[in-house]
Amino acid sequence: MKTLIHLNQTGYFPNMPKTAVVAGRVASFCVCEKNSGKTVFAGMLGEGIFDAACGETVFPVDFSSFDIKGEYYIKAGGKKSPTFKICPKPFEEVKQAVLKSFFLNRCGITIHREFAGEYRRKKCHTEKATLASNPQIKLDVRGGWHESGNYWRHTLSGAVALAHMLYAYELFPESFKEEIKIPESGNGTPDILNECRWELEWLIKMQDNDGGVFHKAATKEFPANIMPHEDCDEIFVYEKTTSSTAAFCAVCALASRIFAAFDPTFSGELKKCAERAWLWAVQNRRTKEMAGLYLHNDSDPTDKIFWAASEMYSLSGSKIFVEAMLEIYENVDTTSFSPSFSGGFGALSFIFSTKIKNLLLLDAFKTAFIYKADTICAMSKNSAYRTAVSGNRYLKDSNFEILSAAMTLIIANKISPNQNYTDTAIEQLNYILGKNPMGISYITGFGENCCQNPHHRPSTADGIDAPPKGLIVCGPNMERADEYIRWLIPKGTPPAKCYVDKEYSYSTNETSLCGAACALFVLGFFS
């Protein structure tokens, strides 16, 4: 049930900002101990702020100066908030659950009780797939992760999710030492990399003999709300595209660097795959890709080629790749990390590369991140919830956009340390965990009022009341882009309130593969 007081329902760091929002006209608030109800901190609320995204005047709460560890709730106007913790590591359990959610979405494997408890399930999608352009050809594309709420598997979104996770490990390795109890745990490789390897080995199967990469493995129609092993429709492998091939090249080059310390043989295989993909991508870069062909409607591969060139330079040090970057970087958004616009990974790779830097590119990329971070900070100050999404930008995957803003701020902070960047980044995580106009935590299993009915077929069909922990849903969508939400939520509803926690609403409540991966990057930093 929606609450009057909206806050991060998981927890706060003792030495960082602690904020909440009261949706209602009250004069004061108090922080109370969870068990005793004793008031331990009190304050007055200031002037109300009209928030365009939620369409109402709300009152910010700031209790940043209260740093005593414990479990609490806030009272205001006779209402109680959900409980929360103040502790040195408020996000550890969230981080591990989000990482474990990738394991639970594995395709082509039996998920045993030993590793998944009640969410165990049978092996699925084990038959060879049919090449859509030549039905006589059968391909082994078993493995990988199921895409979001269905059982399709996309090369592009898989590569982008992997990039978030691989950079999370590379930049914050100390945050990913804990085992999460998967079959590979204890093999000498961190479990975040073990999970990445599962997807990487599937991606390698999606590369054709000529180096090009098929963009998805999928049935012709979305499956019904059934368990993965019950989805027996024929799987097809669809079209090689330049975008998919370039993204594949980029993430294989990135993974080759990282896996060199753990498995040199696998690292070498990834490098060869990346080299073959690079040649195919540049030879086919002018090929017009079919609009609507795949999930992200990405007909311009320029940003993926830029990203691939940068990763290949970080891997090899060859000036050929710098020259390729110089040709196109001005036509690329070098601060974006989505499947549609992936240029930010190229800039990130170049900035932190150990190879000799071209100073023109280095300065351009750093300047772009600082400018974007300053813009995000300014935008968040216009929001009563301190979110980095303007009122007209609550579209499909709005939660991913908010997490991506936090990622940009974290990178900018590594380039040029700035407390405003980290404070604003934590506010984006606060939003995801409950400090939002819906008063709901958008991560399953975390918070008293968390989403319970994601558009995620295994969660709907498994007969278990609660979904697995750690699933992240895509969030409010002002376009109301499915029949259920159009029926339930009237036209003109404020953008940040265009959300419904029902499995029928795929436009607002579908689980997000890239959102989960981006969350791991943000959680890795704050861990």
Where residue 179 sits, what CATH number does that domain have? 1.50.10.10
452 within a domain of the structure (yes/no)? no
166 within a domain of the structure (yes/no)? yes
C-alpha–C-alpha distance, residues 507 and 382, integer Å: 26
C-alpha–C-alpha distance, residues 157 and 175, integer Å: 24
Q: Which amino acid is at 363?
A: D
344 within a domain of the structure (yes/no)? yes
CA-wise closest residue to 438 among 426, 427, 450: 450
219 within a domain of the structure (yes/no)? yes
C-alpha–C-alpha distance, residues 411 and 404, integer Å: 11
438 within a domain of the structure (yes/no)? no
Q: Are 446 and 472 in contact (CB under 8 A)?
A: no
C-alpha–C-alpha distance, residues 335 and 145, integer Å: 26
What is the DSSP-derived secondary structure letter of residue 443? B
Q: HSE (CB half, 13 Å, CA atoms) of 152?
A: 21
129 forms beta bridges with 139
Contacts (Cβ under 8 Å, ≥6 apart) of 18: 12, 62, 63, 64, 66, 86
Q: Which domain holds residue 177?
A: 96-357
241 within a domain of the structure (yes/no)? yes
CA-wise closest residue to 39 among 14, 65, 73: 73
Distances (CA, A) of 240 to 209, 243, 245, 246: 11, 9, 7, 11
201 within a domain of the structure (yes/no)? yes
Total Cβ atoms within 10 A of residue 359: 8
Number of folded domains that form the chain:
1
Query: pLDDT per position in the chain (527 positions), as tens?
Result: 345 899 999 999 999 999 999 998 888 999 999 999 999 999 999 789 999 999 999 999 999 999 999 999 999 988 999 999 999 999 999 999 999 999 999 999 999 999 999 999 999 999 999 999 999 999 999 999 998 788 999 999 999 999 999 999 999 999 999 999 999 999 999 999 999 999 999 999 999 999 999 999 999 999 999 999 999 999 999 999 999 999 999 999 999 999 999 999 999 999 999 999 999 999 998 765 544 444 444 568 999 999 999 999 999 999 999 999 999 999 999 999 999 999 999 999 999 999 999 999 999 999 999 999 999 999 999 999 999 988 788 999 999 999 999 999 999 999 999 999 999 999 999 999 999 999 999 999 999 999 999 999 999 999 999 999 999 999 999 999 999 999 999 999 999 999 999 999 999 999 999 999 999 999 999 99
203 within a domain of the structure (yes/no)? yes
Distances (CA, A) of 201 to 179, 205, 392, 454: 21, 7, 39, 28
